[in-house]
Every structure is written in C-alpha cells, then in structure tokens.
C-alpha cells in the first residue's frame, strides 16, 4: 500500500511538470498581447496597451473578411469532413468490394504525407481546374487533409458499435438509408463532434497549403499571423494567436459539452 502511494506521488509530480511545460508558453501569449514595448532586460513589460487586440477585433468585424475565410471556411470544411467520413466509414467497414483495401490505404495517406509535398505537386492541377486562389479551392485542399483525421475517429467508433443495431432496424422494416440515418448516425453523434473539432483544427492550422493554394488571396489566421511573426511584431502575432486559439478552444468546449449531452440522451433512449 505504501509503495502504491509513492507511485501515485511520482505520477502526480511528473504530470504537474508536464502541465507546466504546456501552460507556461500559452501564458506568454497573454502578456505579449497586451504589451506595446517590452525592452531588454526587463522581466515584466514596461507599457501595456490594447492596440494589438483592438486591431484583431476590427479585422474580425469587417464583413466578408477574415471571419469568413479564417473561421467559417474551417467550420464548413469540418462539417463536410464529418459527412464524408461517415459515408466512407460505412462503405469501408461493412461492405466487401474490389478495391476496398486500396481505398483504405489511400484514405490514410494524407495523414502521413506532409502538406508541403502535396501542395507543390498539386498546385498546377489546381490552377488548371481554376481552383487556385479561390475560397472553395482552399476548402477542397483543407478537406483532403482534415478528412483522414475525421475518418480515423469515426471508423474507430463505428467498428466498435458494429452493425447489429442497424440490422435490428432493418429487421423491423426500416429501409437502409433510414436505418443508417435514424440509428447509426445518432449513436455516432458524440464521436462525430470530436471528429468535427479535429477537422476544424487541422484546417485552421494549415499554413503552407493555404499559402500555395490560396495564393495569398485567401486570408486565414495563419496567413495573417506569420508576417507579423517574421517581421518581429510579437505583440500583434500574439494577439492574433490568442484570439484565434480562443475561438478554437470555445468550439472544442462547445462540442465536448454537446457530445456529453447527446451521450446522456442516447443512454436514456436505449434503456
């Protein structure tokens, strides 16, 4: 028993060190976002200012600007990822057809091949298809990269649930589509929300892919933030990071909440 307690103690300490290493850098964001100048060698910035944060919100308020291409673009990409992942997972898990394994292999490739390699290879094709420098072109490129994450999560859950509930509905007379939409989709709602978040994050984090396919015309968070970083405007870079990271965290928390609620409802329905 004593030994067990010691193990718990060590575990606590290691987890705490890890937590500090994660949180401390994020705290620097808060300080830098509200700083005008922070001269060497002071440990605390000299003058605080709201300039950087105000600038972010003004850009966000402008209609048709960064809010659309930065946030809405990623939200739509994430939604499409989940829908396509549900369809693909269903086909890949429960049907046997020629080419199934090849498609499964193809579907995980973007998980492993870096986006920079893909974007240089595909840019010419996107130009020929008229997709370069357009919002929907960037969305398609993001979709290619966010889909594998959504697919992996949904396939995991779908294979754990199996087909038996859906078969039950079929036995009771529901048609295939109805059984899928009414039975499987609600059961997969929690994991679909997680997949949605993951896909959103992947889309929102892309820099190189957005730069190349968007041609600098499609302004997302990374496209606006990187020039501030390379030109040494750490306060502006921090303010943009803080606000956009905040939006991601809110989306993450909301869907976690929704997942918990739908989980609870599902349980009461089943019993």
Partner 1 sequence: MKNKIIPYLLLIPQFILSGLFIAGLINAIMISLGIMPSLGLNKLTFDYYIKAFLRKDLFDSLTFSFYTALVSALISTVLGVFICYFMINTKRGISWIVELPIITPHVVTALFIISIFSQNGFIARLLFMFNLIKDQQEFPVIVYNSGGIGIILGYIWKEVPFVIYFTASIMSNINEKLGDAAANLGAGAGRIFFEITLPLCKNTIISAFLIIFVFSLGAYELPFLLGATKPKALPVQAYEQYLHPDLRNRPYAMALNGIIIAAAMLSAVFYYFVLKSDIDKKLKNKNLNTCII
**122 part of the interface to partner 1, by CB under 8 A:** yes
**Contact partners, residue 245, CB within 8 Å, separation at least 6:** 26, 29
Does 261 contact partner 1 by CB under 8 A?
Answer: no
- When asked if residue 190 is in the footprint of partner 1 (CB under 8 A), the reply is no
**Dist. CA 213–CA 85, nearest whole Å:** 23
- Residue 92: CA count within 13 A, CB half-sphere: 21
Instruction: Select from 1, 160, 171, 270 the one that contacts partner 1 (CB under 8 A).
Output: 160
Task: Map the footprint of partner 1 across residues 211-240, applying CB under 8 A.
Answer: 221-222, 225-226, 229-230, 234, 237-238
Give the per-residue contact string, 97-116, with partner 1 (x = CB under 8 A; - = no). x--xx-xxxxxxxxxxxxxx
Give yes or no for a contact between 82 and 199, defined as CB atoms under 8 angstroms apart: yes
Contact assessment for residue 66 and residue 60, using Cβ atoms and an 8 Å cutoff: yes
> Which one of 23, 171, 172, 270 is in contact with partner 1 (CB under 8 A)?
23
- In the beta sheet, which residues pair with residue 37? 47
Of 20-28, 47-55, 65-73, 183-191, the window that binds partner 1 (rule: CB under 8 A) is: 20-28
The kind and range of the H/E element at 37 are strand 35-37
Angle at 38 between CA 37 and CA 40, to 5 degrees: 135
Among 147, 188, 191, 193, binds partner 1 (CB under 8 A): 147
Find the binder of partner 1 among 120, 175, 254, 260 (CB under 8 A).
120
Q: Are residues 52 and 238 in contact, defined by beta-carbon separation less than 8 angstroms?
A: yes
Buried (b) or exposed (e) across 170-185, using 16+ Cβ within 10 A?
beeebeeeebbeebbe
| Distance in Å, CB of 144 to partner 1, minimum | 5
Provide, rounded to whole angstroms, the least separation between the CB of residue 268 and partner 1.
22
Query: Smallest gap, in angstroms, from Cβ of residue 200 to partner 1?
Result: 9
Say how many residues touch partner 1, by CB under 8 A. 88
Distance CA 7, CA 202 (A): 37
Distance CA 106, CA 236 (A): 40
Least Å distance, CB 14 to partner 1, is 4
How many CB atoms are located within 10 Å of the residue 151 CB? 27
Cβ closer to partner 1: 84 or 189? 84
79 binds partner 1 (CB under 8 A): no
- Nearest-approach distance from CB 68 to partner 1, in angstroms: 19
List the Cα angle 166/168/174 in 5-degree steps. Answer: 75
| 1 counts as binding partner 1 under rule CB under 8 A | no
Enumerate residues 36-75 that contact partner 1 by CB under 8 A.
40-43
- Whichever of 161 and 189 has its CB closer to partner 1, that residue is 161
Q: Which stretch binds partner 1 (CB under 8 A): 46-54, 184-192, 199-207, 260-268?
A: 199-207
């Amino acid at each position: 028993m004593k030994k067990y307690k010691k193990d718990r103690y060590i575990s606590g300490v290691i987890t705490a060190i890890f937590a500090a290493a994660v949180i401390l850098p994020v705290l620097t964001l808060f300080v830098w976002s509200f700083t005008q100048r922070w001269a060497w060698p002071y440990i605390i910035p000299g003058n605080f200012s709201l300039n950087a944060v105000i600038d972010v919100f003004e850009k966000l308020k402008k209609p048709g600007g960064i809010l659309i291409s930065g946030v809405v673009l990623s939200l739509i990409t994430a939604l499409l990822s989940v829908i396509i992942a549900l369809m693909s997972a269903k086909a890949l898990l429960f049907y046997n057809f020629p080419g199934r394994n090849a498609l499964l292999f193809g579907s995980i490739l973007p998980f492993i091949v870096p986006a920079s390699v893909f974007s240089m290879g595909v840019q010419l094709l996107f130009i020929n298809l008229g997709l370069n420098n357009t919002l929907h072109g960037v969305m398609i490129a993001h979709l290619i990269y966010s889909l594998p994450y959504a697919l992996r999560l949904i396939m995991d859950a779908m294979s754990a649930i199996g087909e038996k509930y859906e078969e039950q509905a079929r036995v009771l007379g529901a048609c295939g589509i109805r059984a899928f939409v009414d039975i499987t989709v609600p059961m997969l709602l929690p994991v679909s929300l997680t997949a949605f978040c993951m896909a959103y994050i992947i889309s929102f984090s892309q820099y190189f892919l957005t730069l190349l396919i968007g041609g600098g015309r499609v302004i997302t968070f990374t496209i606006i933030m990187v020039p501030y970083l390379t030109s040494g405007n750490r306060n502006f870079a921090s303010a943009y990071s803080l606000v956009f990271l905040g939006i991601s965290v809110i989306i993450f928390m909301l869907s976690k909440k929704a997942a918990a609620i739908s989980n609870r409802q599902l349980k009461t329905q089943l019993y």
